[in-house]
Amino acid sequence: MGKWLVPAMILCLLATGCNTVARNETSPSPQNDKRVRVQQSAPQKKQISNPTQVADRLEKLARDVPGVKNAHCVVFKNTAIVGIDVAGNLERSRVGTIKYAVAEAFRKDPYGIDAIVTADMDLASRLKEVQADWRRGRPIAGFAEEMADIIGRIVPQIPRDVQPEQPDHAKTDKQKLNQRL
């Protein structure tokens, strides 16, 4: 049976190779292609030339939304981050609805369409501080300080890593002497 296996495989390969038909069809040329060609193009972010003006504009748009008590906007390069203040007793779903309404208002604005909207109380207050530092003439230092504070809150503290302070025996002896006198 082994002596017939090799010739059978060769015969199959030859039969398969001879079965291909020469086609006159080549790949369609672009002139003969009747399909519609559309290039995908996402709208580009509008360049922000005056960050203060854009921040004021987006803050006003956000404040005009019902349920928003106040808004603070920080523009960094070509991105606007807007923190909104809402009543503290609102349910999560209502806060989400207000945030969505602000995003809808921004959608119609050329600068607001790519803005980031947050209703987190801590982030909104930090944006307010960054904005105040920006207006005081220290944009980079204020931004760096607030980012350090935010990251400090995010990084977890693991109890296993906490080392209790070892008392300094020289200090404790001095304190005892001072207490006796």
Can you spell out the DSSP letters for 31-97? TT--S------PPPPPP-S-HHHHHHHHHHHHHTSTT--EEEEEEETTEEEEEEE--TT--HHHHHH
Tally of domains within the chain:
1
- The answer as to whether 63 is a domain residue is yes
Amino acid identity at 126: R
pLDDT at 61 (0 to 100): 93
- The answer as to whether 46 is a domain residue is no
Amino acid identity at 53: Q
- Residue 59, domain extent: 51-161
82-118 residue pLDDT tens? 889 998 888 888 988 999 999 999 888 887 878 888 8
pLDDT at 27 (0 to 100): 59
Q: Is the pTM of this model over 0.85?
A: no
- Tokens for 177? 């002497």
pLDDT at 18 (0 to 100): 56
Specify the 3-state DSSP secondary structure of 2: helix
Q: What is the mean pLDDT of residues 148-176?
A: 66
pLDDT at 21 over 70: no
- The answer as to whether 177 is a domain residue is no
User: Between 63 and 28, where is the model more confident?
Assistant: 63
Confidence category of residue 127, pLDDT binned at 50, 70, 90 = confident
pLDDT at 76 (0 to 100): 80
Distance CA 26, CA 16 (A): 22
Tokens 């604005």 map to which residue?
Answer: 109
- The answer as to whether 178 is a domain residue is no
- The answer as to whether 15 is a domain residue is no
pLDDT at 39 (0 to 100): 66
The CATH number of residue 105's host domain is: 3.30.70.1350
Distance CA 55, CA 42 (A): 24
Distance CA 76, CA 92 (A): 28
39-91 residue pLDDT tens? 656 566 667 788 889 889 999 999 999 999 999 888 887 788 888 999 888 88
Cα dihedral sign for 118, 121, 123, 126? positive
- The answer as to whether 7 is a domain residue is no
Distance CA 119, CA 117 (A): 7
- The answer as to whether 33 is a domain residue is no
**Helix (H) / strand (E) containing 130:** helix 121-135
- The answer as to whether 74 is a domain residue is yes
